[in-house]
Structure 1
Amino acid sequence: MDCDVAVIGAGPAGIQAAIHSSRKKAATIVIGKASGSAVTGTRIGNYFGTGEVPGEDMLAHGRAQAESTGARFVEENVISAMAGDGSFVLGLESGETVNAKAVILATGISRMKLNVPGEKELFGKGVSYCAVCDCNFYRGKRAVIVGNDSEAAVSAELMTGYASETHWVFWDLKANDALVSKARAAGVTFHESRPSAIEGGDRVTSISLEDGTSIQTDGVFIELGAKSAADLALDLGAMPELDDTIKVDGSCCCVGVPGLFACGDVTGKPWQVAKAVGQGCIAGMSAADYARGIE
């Protein structure tokens, strides 16, 4: 799929960016799932002119607005990203690719946690949230991937090229069937059970599951959602801050890489819909101008 502007994230910031981008006659694709937005399951009571509304209603109305201006929505996660010569290539969980002249990162904040004993204590000592980032450190070692979505499937398959043995732990599998098959064919060992604890001293030594299984391992990679904006920023040539937020120029929401923009929670506090929508407006217009060659 080809477009002028690809927006990664289907929350308030991403949808607002799409509205303004497409209104400026830039072919716009929004990639993401509304269920992943921070406003899903909440009631918004402090946004101008709306009173108190369910977050899902806000997203549905916003999507309808964006679609009425010509924006297209693709309800998938981005599992790979690459900056090319004057363009960007985004890989989706279905195997499709999106080629864009400009990209807007509106993924919100992620790094979802398991919240099990040992996770916090062993972070950086064998617990990681980015298999792509740390796989090279596990050459010839044992690794466990934890997660239900396509990102976990991709990470599990990837890890088989480095680790001596790769296990994948899931409990509510939602990954794309083709990606699951690839992981199985690559030799990944599957475990269907929730993790209950991660064990170790100076380093991770094992992970325990609720079904009583204990897996001896050197590393646990927690992949509970789409690639974070920090991961994507790195893939696209930008450097995130130490807290995984992305610093932007307030006048254009540009990131420092030509054609790359960011808006919403991913740019830091305050994590408010009003701020997300304001930045979405700026990022959408800026990205459209960039894609259409307007200074």
Structure 2
Amino acid sequence: MQNPTPYDVVILGSGPAGIQAAIHSARKKARTLMLGRVTNSSLYWAHVENYCCMFKISGEEILRTGREQAAGFGAEFMEQDVLSISKQDGLFSIVPENDEVITTKSIIIAMGTTRNKLGVPGEKRLLGKGVSYCVDCDAGFYRNDIVAVAGCGSAAAGGALALTQYASAVHLVCDKLDIADALKQRLKESSVTIHEGRSITEIKGENAVQSINMDDGSNIDVAGVFIELGAKGVLELASELGIALDDNMRYVTVDRKMQTNVEGIYAAGDITGPPLQMAKAVGEGCVAGVEAAVFAKRLKRD
């Protein structure tokens, strides 16, 4: 299903950069939607004591208050992670977990940069030798191989489904699936083998990944392990859209208007690079929100 009227601005990310962007774009009367789970923001679990004009305050309270402000200006919210983005006929199409296609004139990426690791033996040593943090980047290297995906969120579920187009067998290892019902149903109807209630304890191999050990003592022979903890990250989305990254392939490159090399796509917050501070995120979110709204309104006139 597709939303009948395109949004002016869709913001990916639920942290301070995204909220500030939502406040400013909505104040400019741009139809604004924020996508993402608030608990995915690293600020949600933190306490802040170095932000201007505030004494120590919980990140959860900051985000709650910010969302109320944005909602007061008309911003909408959807607690769903993003699975894919494409562009067609001048509009961006975003597919969240519930498979509802959302169209928009502009996008602000404010998802942060944390790439969670399993922290198990073999993970660091075999990185690039079968261990990967990006299904979209590396799936093609595992045609007709057996692979495993570690994670319980949308990135893991979506990655496992994507890998079925390449690998001969896909194992999804997770403690407890935490995804929308529509995505869970797609997963269960696929060829993916789900090991729910399990976790990987070791990734084994000499010069390349050969197998994984799990906490129940079992062992699965695999050629690759994709670690996808949380929501889909910048590497995956950038590869889909052709967004330019920095030389280390970690941060999104933007100009002073927070615009990327792709017209209509902006970025703000930790995803644009250090310092990884709320003050910077809020400032960049302000600029991105204003510029994205102006861009969308210009499209209306054209």
- Alignment TM-score, normalising by the size of structure 2: 0.94
| Aligned-partner Cα distance in 1 for 2:268–2:181 | 32
Contact in 2 for aligned 1:263/1:283 (Cα 8 Å): yes
2:200 corresponds in structure 1 to: 195
TM-aligned CA deviation for residue 64 of structure 1: 0.4
2:164 corresponds in structure 1 to: 160
TM-aligned CA deviation for residue 108 of structure 1: 0.6
Amino acid at match of 2:226: F
**How many residue pairs align between the two structures?**
294
Contact in 1 for aligned 2:154/2:232 (Cα 8 Å): no
Contact in 1 for aligned 2:135/2:236 (Cα 8 Å): no
TM-aligned CA deviation for residue 177 of structure 1: 3.0
Detail structure 1 runs of 4+ shifted over 6 Å in the superposition. none
TM-aligned CA deviation for residue 232 of structure 1: 1.3
Is 1:79–2:83 an aligned residue pair?
yes
Contact in 1 for aligned 2:33/2:76 (Cα 8 Å): yes
1:138 corresponds in structure 2 to: 142
| Aligned-partner Cα distance in 1 for 2:215–2:36 | 31
| Residue of 273, 280, 290 corresponding to 1:285 | 290
1:244 corresponds in structure 2 to: 250
Matches within 5 A, 1:43-58: 43-58=47-62
Q: Which moved more, 1:28-37 or 1:237-246?
A: 237-246
Aligned to 1:204, what secondary structure does the other structure show? Answer: coil
Aligned to 1:125, what secondary structure does the other structure show? Answer: coil
1:149 corresponds in structure 2 to: 153
2:15 corresponds in structure 1 to: 11
Matches within 5 A, 1:1-295: 1=3, 2-192=6-196, 193-241=198-246, 242-250=248-256, 252-293=257-298
Aligned to 1:292, what secondary structure does the other structure show? Answer: helix
| Aligned-partner Cα distance in 2 for 1:183–1:61 | 36
| Aligned-partner Cα distance in 1 for 2:206–2:184 | 32
Contact in 2 for aligned 1:103/1:260 (Cα 8 Å): yes
Amino acid at match of 2:252: I
TM-aligned CA deviation for residue 152 of structure 1: 1.4
Q: Which moved more, 1:51-60 or 1:172-181?
A: 172-181
Unaligned runs of 5+ residues in structure 1 are none
| Aligned-partner Cα distance in 2 for 1:88–1:69 | 23
| Aligned-partner Cα distance in 1 for 2:84–2:99 | 10
Contact in 2 for aligned 1:82/1:236 (Cα 8 Å): yes
Contact in 2 for aligned 1:83/1:235 (Cα 8 Å): no
Q: Which moved more, 1:16-25 or 1:188-197?
A: 188-197
TM-aligned CA deviation for residue 253 of structure 1: 0.4
Amino acid at match of 1:81: I
Contact in 2 for aligned 1:230/1:246 (Cα 8 Å): no
Query: CA RMSD of the aligned region, Å?
Result: 1.4
| Aligned-partner Cα distance in 2 for 1:126–1:28 | 40
Aligned to 2:210, what secondary structure does the other structure show? Answer: strand
| Aligned-partner Cα distance in 1 for 2:254–2:50 | 25
Aligned to 1:40, what secondary structure does the other structure show? Answer: helix
Amino acid at match of 1:248: V
